[in-house]
Amino acid sequence: MVRKLKYHEQKLLKKVDFINWEVDNNNKELRVLRKYHLDRREDYTVYNKLSRAVRELANKIKDLDEKDAFRAQSTGRLLEKLYAMGLIPTKMSLQLCDTVTASAFCRRRLPTILVKLRMAQNLTTAITYIEQGHVRVGAEVVTDPAYLVTRNMEDFITWVDTSKIKRHVMEYNDERDDFDLGV
């Protein structure tokens, strides 16, 4: 026999649905977190909100009159921005904005780009290199694995000059200069 619930217990249980539990419906989120080695769930949440905002903006632009000059201008600006970020493959049409997801943002993270450039063998070692301060983008040393890399900045990803990894790579390629690397 189960005791009768008190008033405050009944009130609390009205807010909880045991049949459709929220945590059970996050398979896609867990797959993305595992695939891209996201440490913080908040990163995925932010990427998801950004991708939703991009899709909503694209839908609002699609609702405008096709002959409107503002629609053409805003379409071009949105597609240019998304292409420069690397979230869409081409600047052809507004339909590509529907493909922007949280995974698209994860593919532009620095560890993923390091693996793509073959500077690291896998995402785990890429994250370790970044956190230890071995990687720089342009002139600045990046220690945050959540750093998003644009298409333009992709060419400027290198090792830090004082990095042991850079020294090892240069020794392997017989390009080491004692003056540059500080013996």
pLDDT of 153 above 70: yes
pLDDT of 22 above 80: no
Return the ∠ at Cα 155 (arms to 83 and 107), rounded to 5°. Answer: 50
Would you state the structure tokens that stand for residue 116, as one six-digit string? 């793509």
Q: Is residue 120 part of a domain?
A: yes
Same-domain status, 119 and 94 = no
Same-domain status, 54 and 80 = yes
> For position 21, what pLDDT does the model report?
60
Query: Which residue is listed with tokens 């080695």?
Result: 37
Domain boundary among 85, 106, 127: 106
Same-domain status, 63 and 81 = yes
Domain boundary among 57, 73, 106: 106
101 contacts 138 by C-beta, under 8 angstroms: no
Q: Is residue 6 part of a domain?
A: no
Same-domain status, 65 and 119 = no
pLDDT of 75 above 80: yes
Same-domain status, 30 and 100 = yes
Query: Each residue of 115-152: b (16+ CB within 10 Å) or e?
Result: beeebbeebeebbebbeeebbbbeeeebeebbbbbeee
pLDDT of 181 above 60: no
Domain boundary among 78, 106, 134: 106
> For position 173, what pLDDT does the model report?
84
Same-domain status, 90 and 118 = no
Same-domain status, 30 and 102 = yes
Same-domain status, 78 and 143 = no
Average pLDDT over residues 28-52: 93
Q: Is residue 166 part of a domain?
A: yes
Q: Which of 83-97, 109-123, 164-178 is predicted least confidently? A: 164-178
Same-domain status, 74 and 135 = no
pTM greater than the 0.95 cutoff: no
What is the domain count for the chain? 2
Helices and strands in the chain: count of H runs, count of E runs: 9, 3
Q: Which domain holds residue 26?
A: 22-106
CATH of the domain at 165: 3.10.290
The per-residue pLDDT of the chain, averaged, comes to 89
182 contacts 157 by C-beta, under 8 angstroms: no
170 contacts 146 by C-beta, under 8 angstroms: no
At 19, the pLDDT band (50, 70, 90 cuts) reads low
